[in-house]
A and B are shown apart, each in its own frame.
Chain A
Amino acid sequence: MDVLTLSRIQFAVTVMFHFIFVPLTLGLAWLLAWWEHRYVKTGDEKFLRLVKYWGRLFLINFGLGIVTGITMEFQFGMNWSAYARYVGDIFGAPLAIEALAAFFLESSLIGLWVFGWNKISKKAHARVMALIALAANLSGLVIILANGWMQRPVGYVLRNGRAEMDDFLALLTNSYGWAMFAHTLISAFACTGFFVLGISAWHLRRRNETDLFKTSFRTAALFALVFTVLTAFSGDQNGIQVGRYQPPKLAAMESHWETRAGAPFAVFSWPDPKNEKNVFEFLKIPNGLSLMTFHSANAEVKGLKDLPPAERPPVLVTFLSFRFMVLLGVFFIAMALWAWIKGRQGKWGDNPLLLRILPWVIPLPYIAIQLGWLVAEIGRQPWIVYGLMKTSDAVSTAVSSSQVIFSLIGFTLLYGTLAVVDITLLMKHARKGPDVDTSAILNTAKV
């Protein structure tokens, strides 16, 4: 395989792995901050125990998110140096700003939070977690604005043989980036909701610490309900941006071949990229696609045939990823509603079915989020920066394929091991419940 293909596989593997750990960090930090705030306000030990239990799971997840993030920054220079050289003037700035304004705060405070329980006041300690949550979210914003620039490049001029910054404000206010950020953040909160729901349900079914896990169940049910619904709305906003600024991606998402006004939407269809049509289309809703994309029945939706085949994104994978993401999204709203209603009624013992299902739902939001990123990144191909630079022009020339094979094998082995360890640890500590005898871990007794 050539350096380009290998580097693409490596970037996909490492960024998807990194993003396994991001959603929970973005969301659970806020729940922890909330429970710790409640503890400071009410003095109720229950909230402290909640913070310590969920905090332990948060930390197991957080560490890997941090260390795998460094890989992403390094790769822009290692594997994509032509990209770094061509757009670094505008793309490098958000990366540096993210480190200075957000990542520093998040990483510095986490140590204080873990080790500082008796060292700073309870109130300050609770605020530290709120700041960690804020910094993590801000970090996501700046990184996604950088990605948003790759989706819809703005505020640059071509000068000195490269893309140079012309309007920094345009980059910061890029509607495409903000729509992506909103969707990413909100879906991360929904994912967090199901994580907490699933583990709480597991314990409730076994009647462990019912008082404690009822509280986390109820909070998480509300969290999941609100944010699954908002995920749908933010997804719709994203769709508008895609339709407006990246028509080929939208066409691939919908497997839409012919440009036309008042485009219909087929609930069931299957793309046939070779013959530039769909194998079948069932349950057609007249004007559906125009309505969904542009909120206007007669809007024109561009089709894939407008572009030569080499300029089109891979249709099947974009189409399927999008469909399954949406399908999962609908399922999440139903599950969250069910959990919220039962949680409000407080009927725990009567509902083993719900409590049995919820732990199995935990992986699904992660899958939906990964599918969403597949749509965003594969749907942009063959461009690395839409309309400005092709992915094939972005790869490093000073790197040999044997080097990338070596690094790809290294990443696969290292990340594979870390994934197994991390998931095993999460499951072990999730099952253990809130009370852990740490003296066995610390061995402090044997002085």
Chain B
Amino acid sequence: MALQILWFVLWGILWAVYFMLDGFDLGAGTLYNFLARSEREKSLVRRALGPVWDGNEVWLLTAGGATFAAFPSAYASLFSFLYTALLLVLFALIVRGVSIEFRAKGETASWKKGWDLGLGIGSFLPAFLFGVAFGNLFRGLPIDARGYHGTLLTLLNPYGLLTGVFFLSFFLVHGAVWVAFRTEGEFGARAHTLAGRLWWILLVAAVNFLVLSYFETNLAANYLHSPVLLVVPVLTVLALLGIKLYLVKNKTGMAFVFSCATILLVTATGLIGLYPNLILSRTDPASSLTIFNSSSSPMTLTIMTVVALVFVPIVIGYQTWIYRVFRKKLTDDTGGILY
């Protein structure tokens, strides 16, 4: 019982940190072709992502691995039910990764243009599709005792699409703030302005998401049952306002901190509402996969708890160190990069 709840929390943390870290890669990658006008500016964006995107993406792999190890039935159902949607995410992430790596290894204009496009699309699709997927998890999937009764199109319902837009606008703000934080001068100012404008879109999407969630999903039930939990969404709203406040104050570093906090808190808000379900059925509640009926044995959960408690802090430690190494604003001096 306690172990399953602990693993639900850990599972949530892994997803939240993934969204927090890869969120700015995906956002900046989507904006890349629009925001950066010259080769120099493109180089700045790529160098803002280059040292960290790979390590950020592993949080997704770990979230997947943790789902497999801690809730194998949920893992099996989720990945086979959402086969085509996940396939598209996978293809996009592959294209995103190789675009960053390959782009610097050729010289022709068409080569660069092709991989620029790859980075843009490979970042946009996951940003949007993760939202669609989580929207559908919140809303519930058409599952009964005989299995899943839906297709890719089932996922593209208004609520799923809205959650997709919500996630996308989130990552766009997050990415724009990251670029503004990492760069200086005219380009940094442009990224800063863009972040400020995108924030309004995010606000509209967030309000719509909250309202529609109340009518379309059962996420509110846990909050109505224990109102003390409402502190999480309230903090989320405050953090969201904090992004704007620090953008106005021209403190992009703090704006980024608040943007990180908002993403962590939004994920927490959603997952608290989902608890104790992992895969909710909207047609047959008895067929929902919860953390209790889909978990691993106590032994596996215990072993994985020890492993996670040892390694997650170590990972956070060296990733923090790497972020500190690259904390200085990017300049035009590209010496010391191996291309």
The listed residue with most B CB atoms (<10 A of its CB), out of A120, A168, A441, is A441
Indicate if the CB atoms of A165 and B297 lie closer than 8 Å: yes
**Is the CB of B57 closer than 8 A to any CB of chain A?**
yes
A-B contact pairs, 20 of them (CB 8 A): A59-B101, A67-B98, A71-B90, A76-B79, A77-B64, A78-B86, A81-B77, A84-B76, A89-B297, A100-B312, A105-B318, A111-B53, A165-B297, A397-B147, A403-B84, A407-B84, A414-B94, A441-B105, A442-B339, A443-B39
Indicate if the CB atoms of B104 and A442 lie closer than 8 Å: yes
Complex: chain A residue closest to B311, CB-CB:
A100
Complex CA–CA separation, A198 to B147 (angstroms): 54
In the A-B complex, the 8 residue pairs with the closest CB atoms: A88-B72, A77-B79, A108-B55, A118-B336, A92-B69, A117-B336, A81-B76, A96-B65
Please judge, given known A-B contacts A103-B58, A103-B61, A120-B325, whether A85 and B72 are in contact too, CB under 8 Å: yes
Indicate if the CB atoms of A73 and B102 lie closer than 8 Å: no
Indicate if the CB atoms of A164 and B68 lie closer than 8 Å: no
Please judge, given known A-B contacts A92-B68, A429-B105, A441-B104, whether A114 and B334 are in contact too, CB under 8 Å: no
Complex CA–CA separation, A164 to B301 (angstroms): 11
Give B contacts to A, CB under 8 Å. 38-40, 43, 47, 50-55, 57-58, 60-62, 64-66, 68-70, 72-73, 75-81, 83-84, 86-87, 90-91, 93-95, 97-98, 101-102, 104-107, 147-148, 296-297, 299-300, 303-304, 307-308, 311-312, 315, 318-319, 322, 325-326, 332, 334-339
Complex CA–CA separation, A40 to B303 (angstroms): 40
Please judge, given known A-B contacts A96-B62, A104-B55, whether A66 and B97 are in contact too, CB under 8 Å: yes
Please judge, given known A-B contacts A56-B339, A164-B297, A441-B105, whether A116 and B325 are in contact too, CB under 8 Å: yes
Chain B residues within 8 Å of A74, by CB: 64, 79, 86, 90
Complex CA–CA separation, A410 to B186 (angstroms): 41
Chain B residues within 8 Å of A71, by CB: 90, 94
Please tell me which one of the listed residues A164, A398, A403, A421 contacts residue B147 in the complex, with CB atoms under 8 A apart: A398
Complex CA–CA separation, A230 to B87 (angstroms): 40
Indicate if the CB atoms of B62 and A100 lie closer than 8 Å: yes
**Is the CB of A110 closer than 8 A to any CB of chain B?**
yes
Please tell me which one of the listed residues B80, B86, B326, B338 contacts residue A398 in the complex, with CB atoms under 8 A apart: B80
Give A contacts to B, CB under 8 Å. 52, 55-56, 59-60, 63-64, 66-71, 73-74, 76-79, 81-82, 84-85, 88-93, 95-101, 103-105, 107-120, 159-160, 164-166, 168, 396-399, 403, 406-407, 410, 414, 418, 421, 425, 429, 436, 438, 440-444, 446-447
- The B contact surface, by secondary structure, is helix
Complex: chain B residue closest to A58, CB-CB:
B338
Complex CA–CA separation, A443 to B109 (angstroms): 12
Indicate if the CB atoms of A398 and B77 lie closer than 8 Å: yes
Indicate if the CB atoms of B334 and A444 lie closer than 8 Å: yes
Chain B residues within 8 Å of A414, by CB: 91, 94-95
Chain A residues within 8 Å of B147, by CB: 397-398
Please tell me which one of the listed residues A76, A112, A117, A446 contacts residue B322 in the complex, with CB atoms under 8 A apart: A112
Complex CA–CA separation, A425 to B107 (angstroms): 12
Complex CA–CA separation, A446 to B76 (angstroms): 52
Complex CA–CA separation, A76 to B80 (angstroms): 9
Indicate if the CB atoms of A438 and B334 lie closer than 8 Å: yes
Complex: chain B residue closest to A429, CB-CB:
B105
Please judge, given known A-B contacts A85-B76, A406-B84, A444-B332, whether A100 and B315 are in contact too, CB under 8 Å: yes
Please judge, given known A-B contacts A403-B84, A414-B94, whether A73 and B58 are in contact too, CB under 8 Å: no
Please judge, given known A-B contacts A70-B93, A81-B76, A88-B296, whether A111 and B52 are in contact too, CB under 8 Å: yes
Given contacts A111-B50, A164-B296, A438-B337, 4 further A-B contacts (CB under 8 A): A60-B102, A95-B65, A114-B50, A425-B102
Chain A residues within 8 Å of B296, by CB: 88-89, 92-93, 164-165
Complex CA–CA separation, A103 to B319 (angstroms): 13
Please tell me which one of the listed residues B72, B318, B319 contacts residue A92 in the complex, with CB atoms under 8 A apart: B72
Indicate if the CB atoms of B75 and A66 lie closer than 8 Å: no
Chain B residues within 8 Å of A436, by CB: 339
Complex CA–CA separation, A60 to B68 (angstroms): 30
